[in-house]
Amino acid sequence: MLGLNDEGLVAGECKFTSSPVGEDELADLERTTDGVRWSGEPTDASTRYVLLSRSGFTGDLQSTSSRRSDVSLFGLGDILGATGAG
């Protein structure tokens, strides 16, 4: 999924797999969005990466997310809690 806000591009991906999402999925998302340019996008725009996962995230990806303000991770509990279903 892609979106545009006042700060720039928001790129996300949802994984419904039995394995935790890892660094390779973040790298794929970064590569996929690298060439995306929207008209009206601010010249100093930044990209925010959002990953949603049914089965959680690897320790490496969690560490990356804690170091980088442009990466957000949401697990199944976060998603269900936000919808009131959890």
16/75 Cα distance (integer angstroms): 10
Domain range for 25 is 2-83
* pLDDT-based confidence at residue 85 (cuts at 50, 70, 90): low
Per-residue pLDDT tens digits for 39-63: 665 666 789 999 999 999 999 999 9
pTM flag (> 0.85): no
Query: Is 8:41 a contact under the CB 8 Å cutoff?
Result: yes
Domain CATH code at residue 35: 3.40.1350.10
Total structural domains in the chain? Answer: 1
